[in-house]
Every structure is written in C-alpha cells, then in structure tokens.
Amino acid sequence: MTHSVENAMAMMTRTTRWSHWETLFWLASLALLPLFPNKALLFSQIAIMGLFALSLDLILGYAGIVSLGHAAFFGVGAYVAGLMAKHGWGDPTLGLLAAASGAALIGFVTSFLLLRGSDLTRLMVTLGIALMLFEAANRFASITGGADGLQGMMVKPVLGLFSFDLFGKTAYLYSLTILFLLLILARRIVYSPFGLSLRAVKANSLRAGAIGISSATRLVAIYTISAAYAGVAGALSAQTTQLVSLDVLDFHRSADVMLVLVIGGVGWLYGGIIGAIIFSLMQDWLAGITPQYWEFWIGLVLVVLVLVGHGRLQSYARMLIHAITHKGRVAHPDQRGTS
C-alpha cells in the first residue's frame, strides 16, 4: 500500500521536476540574441506566438476544450494595451496587467456558455464569440481604427528603463521574460492539485464528479486563466509592434494558433513554443517559395499531421528527448493518447 503511494509520488515528482533540457532550452533562447542580432524582431514574434499557443494548451491540452475562437482574447488584450498606449498610459507593465484583466473578464463571462453541450456546441460558441468581437471592432471604427488599425500608440520604456529599439532587442528580451515567467506559473498551475483535477475532468467528467470534483468551477477557472494568458500575448504583440489592426481578431489567427499547438504537441506546455518555432521557420521557408499561396501549405501540414497521427509523431519526439536527457533510463510512454 505505502509502496504504491511512494511509487505514485515518485512518478509525479519525476514528471514535474525541472529537467536539464529545459535549462538548456532557455539558455539557448537567450543566446539567440547575440548570435543573430538582426533577427530579434522575428524572435519576439515567435515568443509571443508561443505564449498564445501556451494559453490554448491550457484549455485544449489540460481541459479538453476545442476552441475555434481563441483569437478573441488575443484581440481583446491587444486592443486594451493599444488603446491605453494611445491615450497616455503607455507603461508596458500596466498595459499587460490591464490586458490580462480585460481578457480574463471576457473569458470569465463567456466561460459559462461552455459548460453545457457537446464539443460541437463549444466550438460554435467560441467561434461565435470571436466573430461577434470581430464585428464589434469593425463597427466601432472610431475607437478601434477599424481596418486601418489603431494609430498613434506611444509605448513607454519597459519598467521606465529599457526603451523599445528599432532592431527589437528590447522587444525580444521583454517578450521572452514574460513568456518565461508565465510558463513557470503555468507549470505551477498544471502540476498543482487543481491541475490534476482538471485532467480528471478532461478524462471523464462524470467520474470526476463522483469523487467530488466540480467540473464547472474547474472549467471556468482554467478558461479565465487561459483568456488572461492570451490577453497578455495580445498586449505583447501590440506593444512590441506598436500596431493593432482587425487582424488580431481574425478567424485565421484562431486556426493558426491551433496548428502551432498541434505541431508542437498538445498537453505538455512546451508544445506551443516548439510549435511556434517550427511554424515560423516553415512560414519563412514556404513563403519564400510561394508567398501568395502559403495557406495551401498550412492546409497540407494539417491534413498530413492528422493522417499520420500527431500523437504518434510527438511520442517519438518525446522518446528521443528522453533518450538524450535520461541516458539508459526507459522512456515513459505517454498516457494521453492521440487527442
């Protein structure tokens, strides 16, 4: 009896422990800046996309909510930060906090719509909310700038010390720091008892209810957190590019972020970041060949991923990582399956 409890605890600490490759990963991401100083803007975009995909991972990977409208929160965050910078409150940290709160508020309110119904209903409701926000931003062009985008943003230096430069050095370090901090926080969340109960709800909400886990409060909480994350990503994008247009709420953004996450792998937090790196490299390479029809290749990647089975590809990749980092130890097969 106690033996099995010890075993379980050992397994859990093993999966939650900060491993070597993670340290390596973050050091490498810092080292990118001196190595490729003129690509810093691109790197900051990747970091932001990674954060956005991480926010989707929180609900898709850990709570099983298939959302086709996650751009809604990205867009809300971007507009909140953009409007604040336009009207004199250009302090980035303040902007991030306000964007997170704004997006979290919308996420909290709309999360109640997701508690009932099937996957399909959830899909439709998330999509519908994103479309409604898109229409609203389009209609109130006097506030949002409509299709032309928000004009005249004045973003102040980060913490009053580091001003944004043309080459994006500050932008990259700023985005990377926020991404790192939020990833640590996300680790705390998903490995906490709350995070474990979320997985229970995802696996079987009926049984989770039977052992006293209220699935409704769990879903509301994680959806709100995820919305706040997406809002921060949107705010970072607005602040680093000094540009917000209707594009932030577009359907394409919701679909792209899902692709990013699926490429990197659903349900292990780093999936979004890895996916963002691969996605950006792919975009760079393919857009060089056929700039106009780049969508075709996105579509092809999606189709192939599903036909081959993204779960299978990723379990190979994970086994490879395990084999490299834990030499000799047997890699643990993943129980999450293909979805």
Partner 1 sequence: MVTILFDGIAYGMLLFVLACGLTVTMGLMNFINLSHGAFALAGGYVTAALTQKAGLPFLLCLPLAFLFSAVLGMLAEKLLYRRLYQRSHLDQVLFTIGIVFMTVAAVDYLIGSQQQSIHLPAWLRVRLDLLGGSIGVYRLFIIVLCGILALAIQWLLSHTRFGSQLRASVDDPRVARGLGIPVNQVFAVTFALGCGLAGLGGALGADLLGMDPTFPIKFMIYFLIVVTVGGTSGIMGTFFAALLLGIADVAGKYYVPQIGAFVIYALMVAVLILRPQGLFTRGGSR
CB of 143 to partner 1, least distance (A): 14
Please say which residue, 278 or 302, places its beta carbon nearer to partner 1: 302
Give the whole-angstrom CA distance, residue 216 versus residue 117. Answer: 12
Nearest Cα residue to 39 out of 134, 129, 172, 189: 172
**Cα-flanking dihedrals φ and ψ of residue 94, to 5°?**
-60, -40
Shorter beta-carbon distance to partner 1: residue 114 or 153: 114
Q: What are 35's two structure tokens?
A: 């190595």
What value does the CA radius of gyration of the chain take, rounded to a whole number of Å? 20
Question: Where do contacts with partner 1 occur on this chain (CB under 8 A)?
Answer: 60, 66, 68, 113, 116-121, 123-125, 127-129, 131-132, 135-136, 139, 251, 255, 258-259, 262, 266, 292-296, 298-303, 305-307, 310, 338-339
Closer residue to partner 1 (CB): 135 or 148:
135
Q: Which is nearer to partner 1, 216 or 243 (CB)?
A: 216
* Cβ closest to partner 1, residue 38 vs residue 118: 118
* Cβ count near 187 (within 10 Å): 15
Cα angle vertex 257, ends 162, 53, to 5°?
A: 55
DSSP 8-state assignment for residue 156 = P
Q: How far is the CB of 146 from partner 1 (least distance, A)?
A: 13
166 vs 44: CA distance, rounded Å: 13
Q: Around 62, how many Cα atoms within 13 Å sit in the side-chain half-sphere?
A: 30
> Based on CB atoms, which residue is closest to partner 1, 4 or 118?
118
- From the number of C-beta atoms within 10 Å of its C-beta (0-12, 13-18, 19+), residue 26 rates as middle
| 326 DSSP 8-state letter | S
Tell me the closest approach of the beta carbon of residue 262 to partner 1, in angstroms: 6
User: In one letter, which amino acid is 174?
Assistant: Y
CB of 179 to partner 1, least distance (A): 24
CB of 64 to partner 1, least distance (A): 9
What phi and psi values does residue 162 have, to the nearest 5 degrees?
-110, 110
CB nearer to partner 1: pick between 39 and 336: 336
CB 176 within 8 A of CB 51: no
Min. distance of Cβ 316 from partner 1 in angstroms?
18
Closest CA to 248 of 224, 262, 231: 231
User: To the nearest whole angstrom, how small is the minimum distance from the Cβ of residue 221 to partner 1?
Assistant: 20
Q: How far is the CB of 132 from partner 1 (least distance, A)?
A: 5
Neighbours of 115 (CB within 10 A): 13
Based on CB atoms, which residue is closest to partner 1, 47 or 266? 266
